[in-house]
Amino acid sequence: MKPSYWDEAARELSRRDRILRRVIRAYPGVHLKRRADPFTTLTRAIVGQQISVRAADSIWRRFVAAVDHAPQRKFPRLAPASVAGAGHQALRACGLSQRKVEYLTDLAGHFASGKLDPKHWKQLDDEALITALVDVKGIGRWTAEMFLMFHELRPDVLPVDDIGLQRAIAIRYNDGEALPREAMFAVADLWRPWRSVATWYLWRSLDPVPVEY
């Protein structure tokens, strides 16, 4: 489902920024989309950290088979209790490192205890939700920002530590030369309150195939 703000954001960004206007026109009919529930999304983000896409997909399939009670579903919906109860040995057998097993166990504990409760997230601004997420072992600011963009569909996230965004801004706005963080924020100030949308389109200028989390 398209985010409710998407069309308005695309129109406003096209009006304000001639560079983004060309990119947005090149990719009509595509947009951010949510794929899974909060716990499953964060779990998959941890599983895929610092490994290739192919390796992550392989481990993820084994992981889902080990912890999902309905593995035939196209999009699994994992339960924190199932992950917490699987045991370290079973999770390690999926190909996960000991550290990632610890991260996943901590994530499951945060959800099971209510320390992370999606019902309360709408009351939190972006920074407050990022702070809550990075309390989990293995979730840093970049992962939290990706979650806010791709799952929570927050419209005004600017992940300045993202390599793809850094590269796109350098190519499109500075003749290929990397910009410092402060200069990236300055470029992006024109995009408020739609910085997530601008970021997503700039990613498309590097890779036309949309990523889903």
Q: Which residues are catalytic?
A: 162
Of 177, 191, 186, the residue nearest 20 (C-alpha): 191
- CA atoms of 24 and 14, how far apart (whole Å): 7
Contacts by residues 108-116 (CB-CB < 8 Å, ≥ 24 positions apart): 108/39, 108/80, 108/81, 108/83, 108/84, 109/80, 109/84, 110/135, 110/136, 111/39, 111/80, 112/80, 112/81, 112/84, 116/38
- CA atoms of 84 and 106, how far apart (whole Å): 8
| Contact indicator for 200, 32 with CB cutoff of 8 Å | yes
With a CB cutoff of 8 Å and minimum separation 6, the contacts of 106 are 136, 137, 138
